């Protein structure tokens, strides 16, 4: 029974991603999401209060994936820049596998940040993961010191810029190789700029 409940919630999630990525959040309706998910409208309300709650869940789910991977990598005995490269590689692979999800995240994050939903607010905290690894590197003597908050935000901004360009190229050309070596290139820049 519990598996069936999780399956239906996942179906609603997938339906929401499909509709919101195609039509945008404001044009998405619970009816369209339910139709895309292949469930009744009432089923959507069994899992979510409204479409804001669904959007929040999309952000929350992606945040939790990154948090889990970050905690796993943080404990490994690797140079801090290798940790960052691993996190970037994981993220870019997720973007390539789930382009609709990241279309939703990029488009809707800025528009909904004022609503202070838990998922979106937590997603905004992702640069903190980067900063924690940089702090560890400085404390261990592996990285030079600097304004690590600024550096982590610059890295995060580069990630978002790459994602935006990747999605644009997919839309314009139907394919893109932009993310194939992105983690390696960013790591190389960081190695030259931050390595002690």
DSSP string, 53-66: HHHHHHHHHHHHHH
pTM: 0.85
In this prediction, residue 163 carries a pLDDT of 94
In this prediction, residue 152 carries a pLDDT of 94
Quick one: how many helices (H) and strands (E) in the chain? 10, 0
Sequence-distant (≥ 6) Cβ neighbours of residue 83 within 8 angstroms: 73, 74, 76, 133
Q: Are 139 and 175 contained in the same domain?
A: yes
Ordered per-residue pLDDT tens for the chain, 196 residues: 445 656 899 999 999 999 999 999 999 999 999 999 999 999 999 999 999 899 999 989 988 999 999 999 999 999 999 999 999 999 999 999 999 999 998 888 766 554 556 777 777 788 999 999 999 999 999 999 999 999 999 999 999 999 999 999 999 999 999 999 999 999 999 999 988 7
Sequence-distant (≥ 6) Cβ neighbours of residue 173 within 8 angstroms: none
Q: Are 22 and 115 contained in the same domain?
A: no
In this prediction, residue 196 carries a pLDDT of 73
- Tokens representing 81? 């820049």
In this prediction, residue 165 carries a pLDDT of 96
Q: Are 161 and 69 contained in the same domain?
A: yes
The DSSP call for residue 49 is S
Q: Are 14 and 90 contained in the same domain?
A: no
Q: Are 36 and 70 contained in the same domain?
A: no
Q: Which residue has the tokens 């800025």?
A: 110
- What's the CATH code of the domain at 39? 1.10.10.60
In this prediction, residue 1 carries a pLDDT of 46
The DSSP call for residue 27 is T
How far apart are the C-alpha atoms of 85 and 185, rounded to whole Å?
9
Q: Are 69 and 142 contained in the same domain?
A: yes
How far apart are the C-alpha atoms of 167 and 120, rounded to whole Å?
20
In terms of Cβ atoms closer than 10 Å to its own Cβ (0-12, 13-18, 19+), residue 66 is middle
The DSSP call for residue 178 is T
The DSSP call for residue 113 is G
Q: Tell me which residue range forms the domain holding 157.
A: 55-194
Question: What is the count of structural domains for the chain?
Answer: 2
In this prediction, residue 121 carries a pLDDT of 74
Residue after which a domain boundary falls, among 11, 26, 48: 48
C-alpha radius of gyration, the chain, whole number: 18
Q: Are 68 and 123 contained in the same domain?
A: yes
How far apart are the C-alpha atoms of 46 and 4, rounded to whole Å?
13
| Torsion angle of C-alpha atoms 93, 97, 101, 107, degrees rounded to 10 | 60
Q: Are 95 and 188 contained in the same domain?
A: yes
């Amino acid at each position: 029974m519990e598996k069936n409940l999780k399956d239906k919630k996942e179906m609603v999630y997938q339906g929401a991603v499909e509709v919101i990525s195609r039509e945008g959040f404001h044009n998405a309706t619970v009816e369209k999401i339910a139709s895309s998910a292949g469930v009744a409208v009432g089923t959507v309300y069994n899992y979510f209060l409204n479409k804001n709650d669904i959007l929040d869940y999309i952000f929350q789910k992606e945040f939790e994936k990154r948090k889990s991977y970050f905690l796993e990598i943080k404990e490994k005995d690797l140079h801090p820049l290798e940790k960052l490269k691993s996190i970037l590689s994981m993220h870019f692979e997720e973007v390539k596998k789930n382009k609709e999800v990241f279309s939703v995240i990029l488009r809707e994050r800025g528009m909904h940040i004022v609503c202070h939903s838990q998922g979106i607010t937590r997603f905004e905290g992702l640069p903190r993961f980067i900063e924690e690894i940089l702090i560890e590197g400085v404390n261990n003597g592996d990285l030079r010191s600097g304004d690590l908050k600024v550096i982590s935000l610059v890295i995060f901004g580069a990630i978002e810029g790459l994602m935006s360009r990747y999605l644009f190229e997919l839309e314009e050309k139907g394919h893109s190789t932009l993310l194939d070596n992105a983690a390696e290139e960013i790591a190389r820049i960081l190695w030259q700029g931050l390595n002690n």
